[in-house]
Amino acid sequence: MVFSFTASLLAGAALAKGVLSAQAVPTNFTGVGGVPANFAYNATGDFNSSLMPANFTPAGGIVPMDPDPTYHPLSDFDYQSLSLALYHEYIEYDLFNYALTRFSDEEFDAAGINAEYRHLIRFMAQQEIGHIDLITNMLGPDAPKACQYKYDFDSVGGFLDFAQKQTQWTESSTYGFLPHLNSRAAEQLLLQSITTEARQEMSLRQLQGLFPYPVWFETGLPQSFAWTLLAPYIVSCPPENHRLVWQNFPGLHVVSPSTITNYSNASYPQYPNGTYMYPAAVSTNRTLPMSLPGQIVEFQWEAPGQPIGPNASYTTSTSVNGAPQFAAWISQLNVTYTPLNVTGNNSGSTYQPSVHVYNDSTQQVINGSSFVVLTDIALPVTPFNLTAINEHIVAGPLVYSSG
């Protein structure tokens, strides 16, 4: 017997409303087909057939049949967001190629990265060529050019860990700004590239022997989070590159648990003889978690005013006067504040929270790569207005590995 759970749910919902089917009335294509957004829209499932812009096409949406889509930035916000994405595509192209030449086949093999997997990494580098072309075309002649980069890993495991986190913050910051872009056409194309990047991130987790996607929802982030995380790895950029407007927050570091900083016990742990404990695999249940809910987490943070980024021409800053009061854990759909005990001028501790996305104990919010910033207040924010937290950040973000 074939049983479709989803179909039965839908049928049940339709029956409950007494609506079994609805016949669309043919109408003529009117070009854009939208009606203005209605903030009092009654989400009953009824639709108004006399407003339909085309056959089988409900009224509304933002120019779903735009006869002349504009795949270009339509505002400073668009230009700066697309530029930020391009900066990330460039470093990824550099990073994948660099790692493939930096480490020998033997070093890759020892980490469980065989020739097939190396080719996958090589293909990821090639995908970046397409992403770079795409965004450069949308930005036009004033698109930023590639920069020079520095990396602080010295093993295949370190490369995979950096690449996994870097693709995660790129993906997350892009999810954060996509719905706010003025150019919906540019958004469409960027969406189609960032979802490819999400696959890279997942594969990099698998190559690390991590559980591939230990979350129910991917996190969205403000642009300044990504720029703060990226800038330390950029040495210099060509002089014709325009300045990015995004903020560089002061650096934030986890001092303990040592699972984050102690490489032998980090997200890619090795036995004392050098053998990797969790080689590349489609999915791995790890017996040694990287960190656990309820454990004490100790932070150190930097004072603002540090030169950072390309040609050290950016400066870290905060809008807050005084010490932080909270750690904000940004993960999946949620921002969770935990009280911070300040233990020195630039150090403090808190507990890793134990919270669930929904009322279901199987999904911890803090799992995989989440993002921590220190703030002065516990500002209520949700995914669509998360950027409001920027004004309250003392330091961070850092990428926190859990699970």
Which positions lie near ligand NAG, rule CB under 6 A?
26-28, 40, 42, 44, 48, 50-51, 236-237, 239, 258, 262, 264-265, 269, 271, 273, 275, 285, 288, 296, 311, 333-334, 341, 344-345, 349-351, 355-357, 379-382, 385, 388
Nearer to ligand NAG by Cβ, of 134 and 379: the residue is 379
Q: Residue 296 Cβ, how far from ligand NAG at the closest point, in Å?
A: 5
Shortest Å distance, C-beta 7 to ligand NAG: 25
Residue 48 or 192: which CB sits closer to ligand NAG? 48
Question: Smaller CB distance to ligand NAG: residue 75 or 382?
Answer: 382
> Which residue, 70 or 236, is less far from ligand NAG as judged by CB?
236
Q: How far is the CB of 133 from ligand NAG (least distance, A)?
A: 24
Least distance between ligand NAG and beta carbon 19 (Å): 12
Q: Shortest Cβ distance from residue 354 to ligand NAG (Å)?
A: 10
22 vs 388, which CB is nearer to ligand NAG?
A: 388
Closest contact distance (angstroms) between CB of 237 and ligand NAG is 6
Comparing CB distances to ligand NAG, the nearer of 71 and 391 is 391
What string of H, E and C letters represents the secondary structure of the chain? CCCCHHHHHHHHHHHHHCCCCCCCCCCCCCCCCCCCCCCCCCCCCCCCHHHCCECCECCCCCCCCCCCCCCCCCCHHHHHHHHHHHHHHHHHHHHHHHHHHHCCHHHHHHCCCCHHHHHHHHHHHHHHHHHHHHHHHHHHHHCCCCCEECCCCCCHHHHHHHHHHHHHHHHHHHHHHHHHCCCHHHHHHHHHHHHHHHHHHHHHHHHCCCCCCCCCCCCCCCHHHHHHHHHHHEEECCCCCCCCCCCCCCCEEEEECHHHHCHHHCCCCECCCCCECCCCCCCCCCCCCCCCCCCEEEEEECCCCCEECHHHCEECCCCCCCCCCEEEEEECCEEEEEECEEEECCEEEEECCCCECCCCCCCECCCEEEEEEEECCCCCCCHHHHHHHHHHEEEEEEEEEEC
Residue among 251 and 310 whose Cβ is closer to ligand NAG: 310
Q: How far is the CB of 285 from ligand NAG (least distance, A)?
A: 4
